[in-house]
Structure 1
C-alpha cells in the first residue's frame, strides 16, 4: 500500500500522507472495521471519490497504529459530524483527527488532545479566480504584489493561501466562519516549504497561530497546524 510518509509533529501527534493508486476494492481490503465503514460510506460518490474516502480511513488507521499501542486503534471508527468534521467513535481517549484529500493525495493529522487542522490541495487557478471571496484586502494586495514578480507562480501562491485558510478553519472547529474577516494570514516569503503566521478572530477575541506548508509532490500543496493541549 502506498503510505507515503509518517511524521511525528510531537510525542502525541502524527501527520500522515497517502499517495492514492489503488481502486476502491483494493482499499476496502486493507480497512479494519470494514462492515462499519460500509454503512458510513457516501453512496453516490464516483470511483475517485470513493477511493479518496476509503484511503482517508485506511490512513487514519495507519496513524492509530503509530500512536496507540496494541490493537486499540483498530477498534475505532472514523465518523463525520453534521459539519463534515471527522471524529473517532469508540474508546478514543481524547484523540482528534483532521482529514483532507485532493487528486492523488490524502493527508491526515491524528493527535492526543490539543487542536489540529490539515489540508491538501491540487494547484489550480480556481483559488486565484475566487481570491476576492476569501482574502481580506491587505492579503489580496500582498498576493498581487508577490505574483506580479513571478506570474508563473500565481496559481500555486493563491492555492497555498486558500489551503492555509482551510487549515485554520478546521483548527477553529466552528461553523459560520467568514474567511475574509475571521481568518487572517500574515506576511511571509513564499518558498517550497515554510510557515505562515495567522490570526483567528472568534467571539471578539484574537488568537495567534502558525500554519506550516510544503509540497508533497509537484502540482500539490499541503498545509497543517497542530497545537498541543495546555
Structure 2
C-alpha cells in the first residue's frame, strides 16, 4: 500500500503521505479522464514530472475519498496556489523524490513540506534565515531541514507572492514548540509548526 503516513490532527487538519511506487499506467487507470486531461498531460515535458503529477492526483483523490469530499480535480489560483475544485476545503501539497504529502482542512489555510536533510541546504542559510534562526539551527542538519520546510510550509499557507523568507517568515523556539510567524502588510499571524520523521525524510506542516 503506497500510504506511508496518515493523521488527523487536533486542529482539524488531515494529512497523508503517499510513497511514489506505482507506474504511470497504473496511476492513469485510477484517475477519471476529467481529472487530468490529455491536453494537460501533454504540457508536462519530462516523464518524472508526469509521474509526479499523476501520483499527487491519486494521493489527493485517496484522501478526499477518505474524507467524503467529492474530488473534481485540482487547479491553481492567480498566485499559483493549488486548490480543490468545487469544494471549500483548503489544501496544500508537497513533492519529494520518494513521497507525496497532502494536507487538507475544512476551512483553515494549511501548508506542508517534506524534505530529506542534505548538506547542500547549508549553502542557502544566509539567504533564507535571520541571525537568530541561524543561531538556533547551529550545526544540526536535521534542525536546518525542519527550518527549511517550516518556511516552505508557511509560504504555502500564506499562498501569495512577494514574500521575503528572511523578513516576512520568522521562526521562534517557544515552550510550546516551534512557531512560525507570517509578517505581511495584510496578514500577521503565528502558526504552530509540527513535524514527523518518515524514514530519512522529515515532514513538516502548519495550520
- With normalisation by structure 1, the TM-score equals 0.81
Separation in 2 of the partners of 1:159 and 1:141? 14
Match of 2:173 in 1: 187
Separation in 2 of the partners of 1:175 and 1:160? 22
State the shift of 1:10 in Å. 4.6
The answer on whether the counterparts of 1:213 and 1:224 sit within 8 Å (CA) in structure 2 is yes
Separation in 2 of the partners of 1:195 and 1:67? 29
- With normalisation by structure 2, the TM-score equals 0.89
Considering only aligned residues, what root-mean-square deviation do their CA atoms show, in Å?
Answer: 2.2
The answer on whether the counterparts of 1:60 and 1:110 sit within 8 Å (CA) in structure 2 is no
Separation in 2 of the partners of 1:206 and 1:11? 19
Separation in 2 of the partners of 1:50 and 1:202? 35
Separation in 1 of the partners of 2:177 and 2:56? 25
Match of 1:196 in 2: 178
The answer on whether the counterparts of 1:128 and 1:159 sit within 8 Å (CA) in structure 2 is no
Alignment CA distance shift 1:42-1:195 (3 Å): farther
Match of 1:47 in 2: 47
Separation in 2 of the partners of 1:162 and 1:169? 11
More helix by share: 1
The unaligned stretches of length 5 or more in structure 1 are 148-152
State the shift of 1:63 in Å. 1.1
Which residue of 129, 133, 137 maps to 1:143? 137
TM alignment of 1:88-99, pairs within 5 A: 88-90=84-86, 92=87, 94-99=88-93
